[in-house]
Amino acid sequence: MAEGKGPDAKVSDAITEEVKYYFEDEDISHVCANMSEIQVRRLPVLDRNNRLVGIVPLSHLVRHSAGTAKALHGIARPSHQRNQSFASA
């Protein structure tokens, strides 16, 4: 809708085509650093068969990692400092 599309627009008109994701066995510190870099608060999690197993929100990482403060700080930067590029893992 922000791009002037109406309520009849299709989901395919609004999706992000290059999605960053993580595998369920990756290091939390790696995930936190990347969340900060790409300015997102939640990311899909896949198993090694590339099947979706869940979504990891920043709030869950905060509970499990002291290194999350850096990610939270990076994500909370003013919008003019944000990096809007996304890259597939």
**Nearest Cα residue to 43 out of 63, 20, 14:** 20
- The domains of the chain are located at 18-81
Task: For domain 18-81, give its CATH number from 3.10.580.10, 3.30.70.1380, 3.30.300.280, 2.40.30.10.
Answer: 3.10.580.10
**Is the pLDDT score of 67 beyond 90?**
no
In sequence order, which residues have a C-beta less than 8 Å from that of residue 47 and are 6 or more positions away?
23, 24, 53
| Reduced 3-state DSSP string for 10-47 | CHHHCCCCCCCCEECCCCHHHHHHHHHHHCCCEEEEEC
The yes-or-no verdict on residue 44 having pLDDT over 90 is yes
- Work out the pLDDT band at 22, boundaries 50, 70, 90: very high
pLDDT band at 89 (very low <50, low <70, confident <90, very high): very low
CB 43 within 8 A of CB 21: yes
- Comparing 11-20, 32-41, 78-87, the range with the smallest average pLDDT is 78-87
pLDDT of residue 71: 59
Distance CA 69, CA 25 (A): 21
